[in-house]
Amino acid sequence: MTDPRRAVPRTDAVLADPRLVAAAARLGRADVKRVVAETLADVRAGTLVAGDPGDVADVVVRRLPTPPRRVINATGVVLHTNLGRAPLSAEALTAVGAAAGYTDVEFDLATGRRAPRGRGALAALAAAVPGAGGVLVANNGAAALALATTALAGGREVVVSRGEMVEIGDGFRLPDLVESTGVRLREVGTTNRVTVADYAAAVGPGTGAILKVHPSNFRIEGFTGSVAVRELAALTPPVIVDVGSGLLAPHPLLPDEPDVAGAVAAGAAVVTCSGDKLLGGPQAGLLFGTAEMIATLRRHPLYRAFRVDKLTLAALEATVRMPANPTWRALTADAHGLEQRCGRVARGVGGEVATHDGAVGGGSAPGTTLAGWAVSLPAALAPALRTGEPPVVGRILDDRLLLDLRCVDPDDDDVLVAAVAAARRAAG
């Protein structure tokens, strides 16, 4: 009997598949050919059954590295961490494109001399929080906090409430982050209550700073107590405040969310937050504070390691200068308008309209619900939608697939209808 492994397709026959021709143009022929050779070796070894070039090409396509894919976020979660948090605005994307080549990121075109790096983004942030004496940008929120605690309290103690020893996601814990910089944490109070007297009793000659962290991804209710920034600022050490989610100024939609301007006005020496959450921009860590403190941070050697690139600076400046962006359009979407859109999509896909509360997400505003609507479909369609083109991610609830349109661009409604039709065909 003829060994079926002798009928292994030739390498060039597999490489002729149009999908692999396109992949070779994107990744390089050598890398694609290597994966083809590895796959054919598996066929010869009998660990993979593939009878013709098309079968082998199917496997190769799955094994090739793929770039990040655009996903339609129909979960109703505005800042979905697993989907990249804040989507950039069209203005930010244009700015990134312009900054992709040579740019005046550190050059003054008028004088022909070196200029402060990212001065446009820093000026935009300073204008957004005019009470701050200085502004700095790091590559993420954790970096901003690590820089602040290291520069202000390196080798000394940082006093922090036990109720603010948070885990920031994916197993990373704030105390581990801070202590990794050589700072010693001095915990005060209890999980649910802390007083200004607790802080005052802990402050001593070895205290470098007081740290106040907003527990932005959880909420404690009941018999609780915390200390306001203004009270902490009355104590001797400088106060570092991590407001977390990047709300620069108060907003009526999120009355319980602390904002940067408020913390600065209350006397914080340094305020840190993220750029890719409520601000709606690229991943970045923002630092606001007194001119003296920000100058100290800028001079610290660690800042060089945390410095952001020209693309982030360009996207950040465009985000701050524009009055609206996709994040805030989703957060403030009109419920009646969402219901009407859901009705049109539901008629197009044979679904039903159901009430559905969205969420802020991204470790921001826990407990805040965003009243809205969704298109209800059989849950069995979810896998085909996730693996379709473009991928559509919804929410499974009570054995139904809910497609919330809050975060879906209205221009993509017809795309969504077509994706559901394709998913129905794929699911049989």
270 contacts 233 by C-beta, under 8 angstroms = no
Report the candidate in 198, 160, 196, 199 with the shortest Cα–Cα distance to residue 177. 160
| Averaged pLDDT, 257-278 | 96
Q: How confident is the model at residue 87 (pLDDT cuts 50, 70, 90)?
A: very high
Residue 266 has pLDDT above 90, yes or no: yes
Residue 1 has pLDDT above 50, yes or no: no
Yes or no: domain 72-83+328-426 corresponds to CATH 3.50.50.60? no
Give pLDDT tens digits for 338-393. Answer: 999 999 999 999 999 999 999 998 878 877 899 999 999 999 999 999 989 999 99
Residue 218 has pLDDT above 70, yes or no: no
Cis bond upstream, residue 9 (ω within 30): no
The percent of residues in the chain predicted with pLDDT above 70, rounded, is 96
Q: How confident is the model at residue 256 (pLDDT cuts 50, 70, 90)?
A: confident
Give domain limits for the chain.
Answer: 4-63, 72-83+328-426, 90-324
Type of residue numbered 360? V
How much is the pLDDT for 323?
Answer: 84
Q: How confident is the model at residue 5 (pLDDT cuts 50, 70, 90)?
A: low
Burial label for 193, CB within 10 Å (0-12, 13-18, 19+), is middle
Q: Enumerate the H helices of 237-334 as residue ranges.
A: 260-265, 291-299, 301-306, 310-321, 326-331
CATH classification number, 90-324, choose in 3.40.50.620, 3.40.50.300, 3.40.50.2300, 3.40.640.10: 3.40.640.10
Give the C-alpha separation, 400 to 390, whole Å.
21
| Averaged pLDDT, 63-69 | 88
Residue 158 has pLDDT above 60, yes or no: yes
* Same fold? 72-83+328-426, 90-324: no
How much is the pLDDT for 173?
Answer: 84
DSSP 3-state of 404:
strand
263 contacts 243 by C-beta, under 8 angstroms = yes
How much is the pLDDT for 149?
Answer: 95
